[in-house]
Amino acid sequence: MRSDQPTLRLRVAAYGGLLFLHLPILFIFLYAFTTESKSYQFPPPGFTLHWVAVTFERPDVWRAIMLSLQVASLATVVALILGTLAAAAIARSRFFGREMVSLLLILPIALPGIVTGLALRSAYGVLDIPFGFWTIVIGHATFCVVVVYNNALARFRRMHRSLIEASMDLGADGIQTLRHVILPNLSSALLAGGMLAFALSFDEVIVTTFTAGQQTTLPIWMYQELIRPRDRPVTNVVAIIIVAVTSVPILLAYLLTRDTSAVSGKR
């Protein structure tokens, strides 16, 4: 009996932590379907799907969704290219200052978002770059690169160098080795990193605030609606959309990277 108590306490603590984290999200779901649009009554006076229809009929919501999808997609592509190349250079090369370069690559996601946003805004101002779609993409790519870089670097370190050497010894050139040896071993890590980068970009608000100009992504739309609310349940429906779009890639990335022991050449 005595030996079971620590396990029970840990379970209670774990479930309590999960409840603390996710209970506010459950309230968002609850009030997205309430019949009351002006205040938050508990329990809600009634439930309806009316606000879902209202949300999808609003053109400003659709514009914000499409802009967020476009920004997240392009930022992910940039992050995949730059993050993979940086990981390959760090994992396969030895040069002075390598650890410092690695630290600088990780720094954008370690810094508070407001610092990154201010730095980007200052840089755009100095370079006289007008704020718009591409300034948002560049801003998001700065921290999305980190996610891809970390995933790719971990996989490079698990992949034995002898695989590449064997490919070269058998007559394969660099492109063939990349296509048939390196990319198959990196594929799940890159897919997971890309999905995480997409999720991070889609719901990012702080850096976007400093780099968007007149553009309105979905998180910025939500922020504006919270300041000047029109239909509170519509904001909650949009929040559900963001939760769904970001949760699915994160879950898939977790499933893809959960078992990394199947990497070829791992000893």
pLDDT category at 77 given cuts 50, 70, 90 is very high
Mean of pLDDT values over 240-254:
78
Give percent of the chain above pLDDT 70: 76
Distance between CA 109 and CA 142 in Å, rounded?
8
Q: Give the least confident one: 95-99, 107-111, 245-249.
A: 95-99
Residue 47 belongs to some domain of the structure:
no
Q: Which residue has the higher pLDDT, 123 or 36?
A: 123
Q: What b/e sequence results for 12-43 when a residue is b if at least 16 CB atoms lie within 10 Å of its CB, and e otherwise?
A: eeeeeeeeeeeeeeeebeebbbbeeeeeeeee
Domain for residue 223, yes or no? Answer: yes
Any domain includes 201: yes
Residue range 221-246: mean pLDDT, rounded? 76
Judge whether residue 17 has pLDDT over 50: yes
201 pLDDT higher than 60: yes
Burial group, residue 137, by CB count within 10 angstroms (0-12, 13-18, 19+)? buried
Is 72 part of a structural domain of the chain? yes
Interval 210-217 mean pLDDT: 83
**Any idea what the CATH number is for the domain that residue 114 is in?**
1.10.3720.10
Residue 38: inside a domain = no
69 has pLDDT over 80: yes
Give the closest residue to 142 by CA, choosing from 171, 186, 97, 109: 109
3-class DSSP state of 47 = strand
Whether 115 maps to a domain, the answer reads yes
Work out the average pLDDT over 193-210: 85
What's the structural domain count of the chain?
Answer: 1
CA distance 68 to 133: 10
Range of the domain at 160: 59-257
**10 inside domain:** no
Angle (CA) 156-136-206 rounded to 5° is: 90
Q: Which residue has the tokens 């007559």?
A: 171
Residue 8 placed within a domain: no
Can you give the pLDDT at residue 1? 46
